Structure 1
Amino acid sequence: MNVVFLSPHFPPNFWPFCVRLREAGHNVLGLADAEYDHLRPELRQALTEYYKVGDLHHYDELLRALGYFTHRYGKLDRLDSLNEYWLQTEARLREDFNIFGLRPAEMDRFKRKSVMKQFFQKAGLRVARGRVCKSAAEVQDFIDEVGYPVVAKPDIGVGAAKTYKLTNDEELKHYIATKPPVDYIVEEFIPGRIVTYDGLTDLKGQVVLDSSLEYSKGVMEAVNEDSDIYYYMVRQIPEDLREAGKKVVETFGIRERFFHFEFFRLEDGSLVALEVNVRPPGGLTVDMFNYANDMDIFREWANLLTYGEVREKPTYPYFATYVGRKDHIPYRRSHDQVLAEFGPLIAHHEPISGIFSGAIGNYGYILRHPELDTLLAAAQAIQERA
């Protein structure tokens, strides 16, 4: 199989996907704008060939690159980056080279939050009331209908970038004056905890691996307040969450892809569907999955492409927690003190790339333990202020 991997060096912890593909016997064809010598050695060794373009945003350069790969290796079987940012570019390339996977005609339901709502409702799931508002009058009309607070966010956007929570008329005026010149969707504020349903589907759209995250706070709050966050992977996925997630997979038609779905869990225990992402969950979450299950999700993805199935299923023997810290926050414990005090719990730690640091911190720790209370106490201690 000839697999084109767009931007194989970023996110920086995704390089094992290419390594496992090559170990499975596939041609792994890297395509990016980074210098070849700047790729980590393990990634360079995994690539059958690397094609450097001047800028990944220049579509004509990508066309030439895939034309070269086709001439050199024959039919291209798969193309991916597992990165939300390149989703539309991937879809265009698949269309132009007749490669299996998501195509441009499917993008609206995966990129536009307003269209996601329609598909959630088709799946029989509850959603927050929301509307794309293109004028100040439309925003005011919506607020008059649902009341404060409301959340305004780009209809097409990644993460919580440029997201506003509006609680009064002054904040509304600030939003109108400062919002970027793109379509925004305004939604009623839902007072619930964010929970996720994450996983991987096979060619038939069956979920073959899954997991779930719960957060100490919303990512929007962490970004807007420039505060820190922790989140953990559960050992037992609630059945109503799994059922809702599988309805989303079926309704959205997600085949042979990772997914990351977000829901609100309300105080009464019910779920409200929030957002769909057809990529692995961000940050170090794929690594958390591996530590929580003593397995290799990178290899299982390669197994799925190679054999049409995964060879190992998660058993969830541990809770895994990600704990982020930000450089500007004065913490009670230094990094060395964290390692000394919580070393037996810490499975991994590393600096976080700047593009993710606003959401999940400048430095991250992955902790694991069979008991959640042990991890939560450690997470709170690691983030304790001086």
Structure 2
Amino acid sequence: MNVVFLSPHFPPNFWPFCVRLREAGHNVLGLADAEYDSLRPELKYALTEYYKVSDLHNYDELVRALGYFTHKYGKLDRLDSMSEYWLETEAMLREDFNIFGLRPADMDRVKRKSVMKQYFQQAGLRVARGKVCRTAVEAQDFVEEVGYPVVAKPDIGVGAAKTYKINSDAELMDYIATKPPVDYIMEEFIPGMIVTYDGLTDIKGNVVFDSSLEYSKGVMDVVNEDTDIYYYMVREIPEDLREAGRKVVKTFNVRERFFHFEFFRLEDGSLVALEVNMRPPGGLSIDMFNYANDIDIFREWVNVLTHGSVSQQAKHPYFCTYVGRKDHIHYKRSHEQVMAEFGPLVAHHERISGIFAGAIGNYGYILRHPDLSTLLQAAQAIQERA
């Protein structure tokens, strides 16, 4: 199998995808704008060939690269980056080179939050009332309909960047005057906690691995308030969440892909569908899959591509928590004190790439333990202010 991996060096924790592909005997064709010598040794070893372009945003260069790969290696079987950012570029390349996977015709339903709502409703799921408001009058009419607070976010966007929580007429006027010149969707504010249904499907759309995250606070609040966050993978996925998530998988026709679906869990226990992402959850979450389950999810993805199934079933023996810290916050415990006090719980820790720091912090710890209260006490202590 000839697999093109777009931006194989970034995010920096995704390099094992290429290594596992090579170990399975596939041709791994790297395509990016980074210098070859800047790639980590394991990634260099994994790549059958690397094609450097001057700019990954230059589509003509990408077409020439895939033309070269096709001429040298034959039909290209798969192309991916596992990143939301390149979703549309990948779809165009798949269309032009007849590669399996999401195509341009799929983009509206997996990128536009306004269109996602329609598919959620087709799946029989509840959604927050929302509307793309392009004028001040439309925004004011929507607020009149649902009341304050409301949330405004890009109809196409990744994460919580440039997202507004609007509580008053004055804040509404400020939003109208300052928002970026792209389509924004306004939604009623839902007073619930975000929970996720995450996983991997095979080529027929069957879920072969699933997981779920719960958060200490909303990512939007973390970014807007420049504070810190922790979140954890549960050991038992609530049955109503799994049922809702699998309805979304079917309605959105998710095949041979990772997915990351977000829901609100309301105080009465019910679920409201929020959005879909056709990628693994962000940050170090994909590594948390491994630590929570004692598996190698990178290898299991390759098994799905190669054999159509996974070799290990996730047993969820551990709760697994990500704890982020930001450089500007003065914490009670130094890194050395954290490791001395909680070292037995720490499965991994590292400095976080700056592009992700606003959401998950400048430094991250992955902790695991069979008991949730043990982990949450540690997470809160690690984030305790001085």
1:178 and 1:283 mapped to 2: Cα distance? 29
SS at match of 1:108: helix
Counterparts of 1:147-186 in structure 2 under 5 Å? 147-186=147-186
Q: Structure 2: how far apart are the matches of 1:264 and 1:341?
A: 34
> Matches of residues 216-255 of structure 1 in structure 2 within 5 Å?
216-255=216-255
The residue aligned with 1:283 is: 283
Q: Residues of 1 paired with 2:228 and 2:57: CA distance?
A: 32
In 1, the alpha carbon distance for the partners of 2:289 and 2:102 equals 25
Q: Secondary structure at the match of 2:311?
A: coil
Secondary structure of the residue aligned to 1:199 is strand
Question: Residue 132 of structure 1 aligns to which amino acid in structure 2?
Answer: V
Q: Distance in 1 between matches of 2:36 and 2:233?
A: 35
State the distance in 2 between where 1:261 and 1:371 align: 25
Distance, in Å, in 1 between the alignment partners of 2:237 and 2:325 is: 27
Deviation of 1:224 (Å): 0.2
Poorly superposed stretches of 4+, deviation over 3 Å: none
Which residue pairs with 1:55 in the alignment?
55
After superposition, give the CA deviation of every residue in 1:2-37 in whole Å (9 maximum; x if it has no partner). Answer: 000000000000000000000000000000000000
1:112 matched to which residue of 2? 112
> Superposed, which structure 2 residues align to 1:337-352 within 5 Å?
337-352=337-352
State the AA in 1 paired with 2:34. A
Residues in 2 aligned to 1:140 and 1:133: alpha-carbon distance in whole angstroms: 9
Q: Which runs of 5+ in 2 are unaligned?
A: none
Residue 106 of structure 1 and its aligned partner are, at CA, apart by: 0.5
- Counterparts of 2:162 and 2:87 in 1: how far apart (Å)? 20
CA distance in 1: counterparts of 2:322 and 2:64, whole angstroms = 40
Q: Point out the more displaced range, 172-181 or 91-100.
A: 172-181
Rounded Cα–Cα distance in structure 2 between residues aligned with 1:340 and 1:36: 38
Residue 131 in structure 1 maps to residue 128 in structure 2: no
Report the Cα distance in structure 2 between the residues aligned to 1:209 and 1:60, rounded to whole angstroms: 36
Q: How does 1:282-321 map to 2 (within 5 A)?
A: 282-321=282-321
Counterpart CA distance in 1 for 2:196 and 2:91 is 25
- 1:94 alignment partner AA: R
The residue number in structure 2 matching 1:384 is 384
- Rounded to whole Å, the distance in 1 between the matches of 2:323 and 2:134 is 38
1:176 maps to amino acid: I
Q: What do residues 162-184 of structure 1 show as CA deviations (whole Å, max 9, x unaligned)?
A: 00000011111110111000000
Query: Deviation digits for residues 101-126 of structure 1, max 9, x if unmatched?
Result: 00000100000000000000000000
- CA deviation after TM superposition for structure 1 residue 65, in Å: 0.0
Q: Name the counterpart of 2:31.
A: 31
- Residue in 1 that maps onto 2:15: 15
Q: Hey, what does 1:357 align to over in structure 2?
A: 357
Which amino acid is the alignment partner of residue 258 of structure 1?
F
Give unmatched runs, 5+ long, in structure 1. Answer: none
Q: Within 5 Å, give how 1:60-71 maps onto structure 2.
A: 60-71=60-71
1:85 aligns with 2:77: no
Which whole-Å deviations, capped at 9, do the CAs of 1:295-352 have from their partners, x for residues lacking one? 1000000111010111111100000000000000000000110010000000000000
Structure 1 stretch 274-283 or stretch 168-177: which is displaced more? Answer: 168-177
Q: Give the whole-Å Cα distance in 1 for the aligned partners of 2:289 and 2:266.
A: 25
Aligned-partner Cα distance in 2 for 1:195–1:85: 22
- Which SS does the other structure have where 2:245 is aligned? helix
Return the alpha-carbon distance in structure 2 between the equivalents of residues 73 and 6 of structure 1.
17
* CA deviation map 1:60-113 (0-9, x unaligned): 000000000000000000000000000000000000000000000010000000
In 2, the alpha carbon distance for the partners of 1:136 and 1:13 equals: 42
CA distance in 2, matches of 1:118, 1:176: 26
- What amino acid is the match of 1:235? R
What are the Cα deviations for residues 240-259 of structure 1, in whole angstroms up to 9, with x where unaligned?
00000000000001100000
CA shift, 1:271, in A, is: 0.2
| Inter-partner Cα distance in structure 1 for 2:355 and 2:274 | 23
**CA–CA separation in structure 2 for the residues paired with 1:298 and 1:253:** 22
Residue identity opposite 1:377 in structure 2 = Q
SS at match of 2:93: helix
Q: Deviations for 1:231-283, whole angstroms, at most 9, x for unmatched residues?
A: 00000000000000000000001100000000000000000000000000000
Match of 1:146 in 2: 146
Residue in structure 2 matched with residue 332 of structure 1 by the alignment: 332
Tell me the distance in 2 between the aligned counterparts of 1:233 and 1:312: 18
SS in structure 1 opposite 2:177? helix
What amino acid is the match of 1:305? L
Q: What does 1:190-205 align with in structure 2 at a 5 Å threshold?
A: 190-205=190-205
Q: Structure 1 counterpart of 2:196, which letter?
A: T
CA distance in 2, matches of 1:181, 1:380: 39
Match of residue 266 from structure 1: 266
Q: Distance in 2 between matches of 1:292 and 1:235?
A: 8
What is the distance in 1 between the residues matched to 2:313 and 2:136? 50
Q: Which amino acid aligns with 1:86?
A: W
Equivalents in 1 of 2:250, 2:320: separation in Å? Answer: 28
State, as a whole percentage, how many aligned pairs show the same letter. Answer: 83
Q: Which amino acid aligns with 1:347?
A: A
Cα offset, 1:382, TM superposition: 0.2
Q: What TM-score do the two structures reach when normalised by structure 2?
A: 1.00
Distance 1:24 1:178 in 2: 51
Q: Within 1, Cα distance between the matches of 2:136 and 2:343?
A: 52
